[in-house]
Amino acid sequence: MSVHVENLTRYAPASQRKLLDDITLTFPTGAFVALVGPSGAGKTTLLRAIAGLDQCEEGTLTLNGNSLKTLQDRAGKIGFVFQNYALFPHMTVARNISFGLDVLPRGKRPSPTEIANRVKELLELMQIPALAEAYPARLSGGQRQRVALARALATGPTLLLLDEPFGALDPIVRRTIRTWLRTLHDQLGLTTILVTHDQEEALEVADRIVVMQNGRVVQDASPTDLDEKPQTSFVMEFLGEAVTFKGQVKNGYFVPDEAHVASFPTHISEGRADAMIRPFEIMLQDEGEAAVPLATHGKSNGYRHYSATLAGRAVPVFVPETSGGAHIKTGCAHLNIQNARIFRNGTRAN
């Protein structure tokens, strides 16, 4: 199912404050899109608007090209899972899953055999066939989340809306369940919109990431583009650790304010600017007399971790373990930041 949202604006009740500010987005059939952004950015508000749980004052929403106004227009087509999903504690896993089918009006309700078959199929799909008769209290967090997903999928929706569904899980279970979710999405041909606080999760599981801030979309891009071409300094910082070097563009070079950080060529116009770079993109140069002292902080994931002491601060630098250099012996180096992105007034300039 495809979803199109156009110029969607929602105000806080009895206020002029915009919770969603002119959002236009398309979610094509089969897309797996993550909504990310800081707390209060409007991610849940957007998801609830798509779900039909809240009405927006301005804008339109279409599912498969059909305009949507009421919750009825969406019946059975959308599955939701929220972080604080509540399974019914007094019902078995099988009953929890079939609940959405059991409560359908008689004319629309499948026969008991069809419902039992559907539950069996979903339990297998969720890889928990042995848990049919178990009660929620004896399930692990990951198993409960699978039951919540099965329940959301029971009526055969083609759009899956997930709001922080893995928030309560520990990191290892979280990693396993998100890989499994991605496979499930592909297998069932779903369109999935996932709200997450976890940037790594978004980058790993989604084919597109929408970054929101203050009720607006600040960037809508593939994980690779978002990583390589962040449009704003906010996006650059939001997606991972970043170091900012203030400086001046002059005669075709970005000249950092701090000593021992090498200038590098750029095509952008002259004036003040910020160069932002990830710690693993900073390179160490051995040449030069006076250099920056490096403190060593161990290794992880194939990188040696240093902190380079500039005049007023320490800058993290991660160097591949395989790379050599005199700095390993001397404990001093110059910083090469030629891979930095340059921003002016918070917007990408190079």
Q: How many helices (H) and strands (E) does the chain have?
A: 9, 21
Tokens representing residue 250 in the block: 């002059």
Q: How far is the CB of 60 from ligand ATP (least distance, A)?
A: 20
- Taking a C-beta distance cutoff of 8 angstroms, is the pair 249, 269 a contact? yes
- Under the criterion CB under 6 A, does residue 37 sit at the interface with ligand ATP? yes
- Under the criterion CB under 6 A, does residue 45 sit at the interface with ligand ATP? yes
Residue closer to ligand ATP, measured from CB, 14 or 290? 14
DSSP secondary structure, 43-81, as one string: HHHHHHHHHTSS--SEEEEEETTEE--SSGGGTTTEEEE
Residue closer to ligand ATP, measured from CB, 136 or 215? 215
Residues in contact with ligand ATP, shown as a per-residue x/- string from 179 to 218 under the rule CB under 6 A: ------------------x---------------------
Rg (CA), the chain: 25
Q: How far is the CB of 258 from ligand ATP (least distance, A)?
A: 35
Q: Which residue has the tokens 């001397």?
A: 330
Name the residue among 194, 266, 195, 276 with its Cα closest to residue 228. Answer: 276
Residue closer to ligand ATP, measured from CB, 134 or 218? 218
Region for 8 from its dihedrals, namely left if φ exceeds 0, alpha if ψ lies in -120 to 50, beta otherwise: beta
Q: How far is the CB of 273 from ligand ATP (least distance, A)?
A: 30
- Under the criterion CB under 6 A, does residue 113 sit at the interface with ligand ATP? no
Among 23, 25, 41, 205, binds ligand ATP (CB under 6 A): 41
- Under the criterion CB under 6 A, does residue 10 sit at the interface with ligand ATP? no
- Under the criterion CB under 6 A, does residue 44 sit at the interface with ligand ATP? yes
- Under the criterion CB under 6 A, does residue 84 sit at the interface with ligand ATP? no
- Under the criterion CB under 6 A, does residue 39 sit at the interface with ligand ATP? yes
- Taking a C-beta distance cutoff of 8 angstroms, is the pair 140, 171 a contact? no
Q: How far is the CB of 120 from ligand ATP (least distance, A)?
A: 35
Tell me the one-letter amino acid at 260.
Answer: H
Name the residue among 217, 237, 166 with its Cα closest to residue 35. Answer: 217
Q: How far is the CB of 42 from ligand ATP (least distance, A)?
A: 4
Which of 39-47, 112-120, 148-156, 281-289 is the region at the interface with ligand ATP (rule: CB under 6 A)?
A: 39-47
- Under the criterion CB under 6 A, does residue 165 sit at the interface with ligand ATP? no
Q: What are phi and psi of 29, to 5 degrees?
A: -55, 130
- Taking a C-beta distance cutoff of 8 angstroms, is the pair 58, 138 a contact? no
Among 3, 19, 194, 342, binds ligand ATP (CB under 6 A): 19
Interaction site with ligand ATP (CB under 6 A)? 12-13, 19, 37, 39-45, 197
